[in-house]
Amino acid sequence: MTSPTETVKKSFKAQMLDARELAITASVNRLLSEKGFDAMTVDEVAAEVGIAKASLYKHFSSKEQLACAAMVQAMQKAQAFLEALDKQVGPDTAIDQDLTAGNTALHKLMASTRWTLQLKLAGEMPTLPSQNSSLRATLMASRPYMDGLMKVSDLLGGWIVQAQKDGAINPALPPIAVLYTLFARACDPVVEFLKMSELHTDEEIVEMVMTTCFAGLNARNN
């Protein structure tokens, strides 16, 4: 029979393992944002977290699994943000700067895009893998990642359709094209180019990208 002391020890050990895995995924997340999957190495992750490479492999069996864990975490974070945003319907919110009177669907799309750009500028948005990347296959096989992707896509897709009905987004555009346009902001190189120029603040960069994105999606009267 397990004693209370042993239970506490196991619980503490589990907490320590969880904390280490959080530190690992946070490091991977930053490196994926900064360098992308192909350029990131397991040695870099181990060095940044301060553990041996062999210890790292006790948590994650491969570079793909490392990156997948970080991408799952990012997707769950996005899902939680969008679900909270979906419940906000009035102007008295922390993100009412994007609120267009009478058009909460557009407000939510703009707020979610702004949030994505802010995370990207902070180095907290992992870059999506290329079409032929080995990570892509791992992500496709990950139930948590795919479930999160579907829920995020459904939420954004619903807002896109509603914004088109409201006349705020060009109804001639296929909703899937609008969705992919918004997803692309998570890996938009324009953000890095503007950041490297050192000519603009992060807030100015966000505003410029937001303007070019949503002006292009805006409904046309002719």
- Residues facing residue 218 across a β-bridge: 169
Residue 194 lies in a domain: yes
Smallest CA-to-CA distance from 138 within 18, 51, 215, 28 is with: 28
Residue 70 lies in a domain: yes
Residue 222 lies in a domain: no
Residue 210 lies in a domain: yes
| pLDDT given for residue 68 in this prediction | 93
Q: What is the pTM of this model?
A: 0.80
Give the chain as a 3 state SS string.
Answer: CCCHHHHHHHHHHHHHHHHHHHHHHHHHHHHHHHCCCCCCCHHHHHHHHCCCHHHHHHHCCCHHHHHHHHHHHHHHHHHHHHHHHHCCCCCCCCCHHHCECCEHHHHHHHHHHHHHHHHHHCCCCCCCCCCCCHHHHHHHCCHHHHHHHHHHHHHHHHHHHHHHHCCCECCCCCHHHHHHHHHHHHHCHHHHHHHHHCCCCHHHHHHHHHHHHHHHHECCCC
Residue 39 lies in a domain: yes
Residue 10 lies in a domain: yes
- Residues facing residue 103 across a β-bridge: 100
Domain count, the chain: 1
Residue 61 lies in a domain: yes
Q: What is the pLDDT along the chain (222 residues), one digit of tens a residue?
A: 455 444 445 676 677 777 888 888 888 888 888 888 888 899 999 998 888 898 888 888 899 999 999 999 999 999 999 999 998 754 444 444 444 444 489 999 999 999 999 998 988 888 776 666 788 889 999 999 999 999 999 999 999 999 999 999 999 999 999 999 999 998 888 998 999 999 999 999 999 999 999 998 886 654
- The domain in which residue 107 lies consists of 4-217
CATH of the domain at 71: 1.10.357.10
Smallest CA-to-CA distance from 127 within 80, 69, 67 is with: 67
